[in-house]
Amino acid sequence: MMEREKEFIGHRITKERFEPVEAILYEYLLAGNGVILRAQREEFTVSVPLVFREIKGLPTIFVGIKWHKPKVPSRIWDEICKHAQTSNSKENFREELYLIYWDSERYAWQWRTSSKDRTYASTIADDRRPEYSDACIEVHTHPDGAYQFSSADDRDESGKFRIFGIIADVHDKPKFRFRCGIYDHLAPVPFSWIGNLPSGVVDLNEVEALLQMML
């Protein structure tokens, strides 16, 4: 029997609880817990729900990020927060962008700044740097009180497959918000899917989820 050629974008009905990602870019799965979007790269496989709904007769599948490397340690986030605090004063704030990538030689996560055209309310990644193509997480700072991804962020991050984050209130109590960009999809993800939350840091997605549960 000839092996089926892989599709760039897959559409499948789940038959088993644990199935490998088959599509080259990403795939939509109809499963017992709804419609799930899945994709994989060297560092992780991600499964995010597009529609949460019980579908009887189909197996439920894992929702979250399955890391093929260790989770990003709190040390990385501590170092990024400290850099963001010391490289900018509160009075002369300019956005800063950080790339987080897996260093296979050191067998450890590393980070680098990678900003160009920095202003109070915008920056973009310097894609000429070698770390840019290797990065699986891209995080940038926001001005105080700017707790949402901007429309400029949406444009800059569309079409890529990596985790994106923002950090607001860097000089007070830093607040993070993450999402996973899966090409044309931008799906919110909690900090716990990515790594260990440092002390004194707030996960905005988790706070909002808790508030929704209380309503």
119: Cβ contacts below 8 Å, ≥ 6 apart: 94, 95
The pLDDT confidence band at residue 4, using thresholds 50, 70 and 90, is low
State the alpha helices, DSSP H only, in the chain.
74-87, 130-134, 151-157, 204-214
The pLDDT confidence band at residue 130, using thresholds 50, 70 and 90, is confident
Domain spans, the chain: 9-67, 74-214
In this predicted structure, what is the pLDDT of residue 153? 95
Tens digits of residue pLDDT in 167-181: 999 999 999 999 999
CB 183 within 8 A of CB 25: yes
Report the percent of the chain where pLDDT is more than 90. 77
Architecture of domain 74-214: 3-Layer(aba) Sandwich (3.40)
CB 171 within 8 A of CB 90: yes
In this predicted structure, what is the pLDDT of residue 199? 87
| Cα–Cα dist 170/141, whole Å | 8
Tens digits of residue pLDDT in 193-210: 998 888 889 999 998 887
- Average pLDDT value for the chain: 92
The pLDDT confidence band at residue 166, using thresholds 50, 70 and 90, is very high
Amino acid at 37: L
In this predicted structure, what is the pLDDT of residue 77? 95
In this predicted structure, what is the pLDDT of residue 3? 60
More confident residue, 127 or 83: 83
In this predicted structure, what is the pLDDT of residue 17? 85
Residue of 88, 156, 146 lying closest to 121 (CA atoms): 146
Q: Residue 30: enclosing H or E segment and its boundaries?
A: strand 26-31
The pLDDT confidence band at residue 2, using thresholds 50, 70 and 90, is low
In this predicted structure, what is the pLDDT of residue 111? 97
pTM for this prediction: 0.93
Tens digits of residue pLDDT in 32-89: 999 999 999 999 999 999 999 999 999 999 999 999 999 999 999 999 999 999 988 8
130: Cβ contacts below 8 Å, ≥ 6 apart: none
* Dihedral over Cα of 136, 143, 90, 192: its sign: negative
CB 107 within 8 A of CB 135: no
Q: What angle do CA 160, 165, 169 make, to 5 degrees?
A: 155
